[in-house]
Structure 1
Amino acid sequence: MTEPYLSAVLNEAERVAKQHGQVARSTDDPAHEYLRYGVLRLLEGETDEMVADVPDIDGVTVGYGEDKAMFDSWSSSEDWWETVPPQESCTRFRVFFPDDHQTVPRDIVDVMAALGAWRVWTGSAAACGSYDHRERREVHYLWPEDHPVEEVLHERLSGPAEAVAPDGGRTGDVRDRLVVDENAQSQDDLEPRTRRAVGEAMDVSLLSKGGRYEVQSASGNRYEVDVIDKSCTCPDWEQRSPEGGCKHLRRVDHEIKQGRVPRPDGRLPAPSN
């Protein structure tokens, strides 16, 4: 599902580098800045690059900054860093969206997954500078500097051919170079009940270290999943405790293995070097 989004992110970042190169003048890592700005333009609908069959989301606004610097400015008033502490050399994206969406809109999820960013917080929006977002919701993603997708962009801009990724694979698909759980499976290989859980619209985020996650379904219901105790607060688990777990347990397990949410100990999945 992320393939068209990965292409869109890279295409827009390449366009930014060629048409808005000034955004990276003050940084030692221009590829990182081109990609950040490309994601902003893509999600805010400012680009000509359209992903097929995915409707635009009206009212999406994107903010980003260095995570440690944001912590220094906001730590006294916000609880964003209680689950995952501030990260050095890491960008925090704040993506705002209308509160009539019960879960994080799917194209936001897929764009950020294509970038290789990890969701760390979701909740009601707070005021941000001169913009008042308090009637909206926001989702936060962390994205480390020197991520493999930066190298992919650099190669597109500079043009070397046949570069070999650290894992021995070709650089054409950044997803082959992300570190995920060794037991991660493609969706086609999943057990049918797990495949259905993966295909449903759910919003997964880490609640606290120790393996507690929150899952919000498309209906707006929220359930707490404990991957250590292998339990869930949904009626299916509490009343029937199906073998292999309810769909929420299965979905959280899949998201962890795919590197889309922080690990149970609160650590972020690390990209390969």
Structure 2
Amino acid sequence: MATAQSPVVPTLIGSVQRALRLLEAASSHVGGAPAKQLAREAGIPLPTAYHLLRTLSHEGYLRRENGVFVLGAAAERLGGGCAQQNQRRMIIDSLAHWRDIIGVPVYFALYREGEVELVSVADTPSSPAVEEWADFRETAHAHAIGQCLLSQLDEKSRQDHLDRYPVRAITPYTVRDNRALRQRLSSTERMQPVVERQEYALGTVCAAIPITAGSTAGTMAISLPLHQEERLLYAVDRLRSEVGALLSSLAFSISI
């Protein structure tokens, strides 16, 4: 005779559950809390709490200071990972929002550790981003993103970049040499958009706006087909106004 099967109950490791409750209790006290208080808040017998607290401290998830337990480096790294994921999600969602309301591809890039880093791009099949046919890191002189980032660097950092990635022609419209590039960058007014026409990709115009957080240079950029160039200034002005509402939280982008 067939009998109904009992639902599968997952195997739970009690010691792991108790350790997690201790971590949750410790995280609620910025200045730390003693073992007795953590055990009481976590609902764990004190002898068991002592054993788990010693283990968590040994593994770096807690740290004992002046008789109280505070979160350790391992726990902070876990929190940092979650924060970075949230920051990336915020960037992706923001770019998609701006893409939809402005109707153009939107890019976000940083200059980090001596390199141009394209962090994220939002586009659509009907309005695609510029294809990276030549490495963005090596062709900063030829596209609006790179020119915007280079314009924010000090002279030493800019020269270091150009020594590693010399100016070279990408299209017939690319800036021809270091001198011409320097003149262009020096004439760029601080925090003003950088516009580039067909210097990286034929048939494309781009504009980038500078964003600086601390010592890190950043930029938001847009691109359009050449035949839609008349939309460029309106689009970049709209992007600047939209980004302005988020500037207070743009530090999030620097640590990702």
Q: TM-score range by the shorter chain?
A: under 0.3
TM-score by length of 2: 0.24
The structure having more radius of gyration, on CA atoms, is 2
- Give the structure, 1 or 2, with the largest relative contact order (CA under 8 Å, sep 6 or more): 1
Richer in helix (by share) = 2
* Structure 1 length-normalised TM: 0.23
